[in-house]
Chain A
Amino acid sequence: AQKVTQAQTEISVVEKEDVTLDCVYETRDTTYYLFWYKQPPSGELVFLIRRNSFDEQNEISGRYSWNFQKSTSSFNFTITASQVVDSAVYFCALSEANSGAGSYQLTFGKGTKLSVIP
């Protein structure tokens, strides 16, 4: 069975600090997809990134970067020079690309609440 662990329940940083959110996953499939979502105080989850299991290249998008390492089953998310608007709950999720109906299912971690203090 697939599983996603976000060990950090809450993190507080001072504005402009860098912060890394950890995500560790478990899956038996060789083909799978990893996602990060942001949930600001308004409540709506916002998609940030999708990664497939064959693409281990790190990705950078502005102040956001993602480090995917299959060897350690991790997909960590770093925010550089954090801002107050980054305050949110961040979820990591996993989907297995098998042929069954269960392949539609995203398994979410329990989320990490990030507070950026001005």
Chain B
Amino acid sequence: DVKVTQSSRYLVKRTGEKVFLECVQDMDHENMFWYRQDPGLGLRLIYFSYDVKMKEKGDIPEGYSVSREKKERFSLILESASTNQTSMYLCASSYRTSGTDEQYFGPGTRLTVT
């Protein structure tokens, strides 16, 4: 079974803090994704990566950056957390270098910025 894990289920940070969200997948997938999920807005793509050290902006990259130094690990970074970044963050991975394969999701990190 594909396993996608995220470093924390719940996280509380203060405004202005630098926040790291970590995601690890164990199936040698090329693609990895970060989404945020908000009530009434569904899932929105923040960034994705199709290879080590490669990244592409999604629909809402502002205020975020990412890092992929190893194939299995994809980090989302909030350089200076703000209250409007309070959300559920979901990491996903998929196998092939195309849009055809299903994405496998981690359990999510619920981030609260106070």
Chain A residues within 8 Å of B, Cβ to Cβ: 33, 35, 37, 42-47, 50, 52, 91, 95-98, 101-106, 108-111
Contacts and interface: CB of A to CB of B under 8 A. Distances in A.
Contacts, number: 64
B103 A109 contact: no
A44 B89 CA distance: 11
Interface stretch (B19-27, B39-47, B77-85): B39-47
A45 B90 contact: yes
Given A43-B108, A45-B90, A50 B42 contact: no
Interface of B: 31, 33, 40-45, 48, 50, 56, 58, 88, 90, 92, 94, 97-108, 110
Interchain residue pairs A-B with the least CB separation, the first 5: A95-B99, A110-B42, A45-B105, A103-B99, A108-B43
A50 B102 contact: yes
B107 A42 contact: yes
Contacts of B41: 110
A44 B37 CA distance: 12
A32 to B, nearest CB: 8
Contact of B100 (A47, A97, A109, A110): A97
A44 B91 CA distance: 10
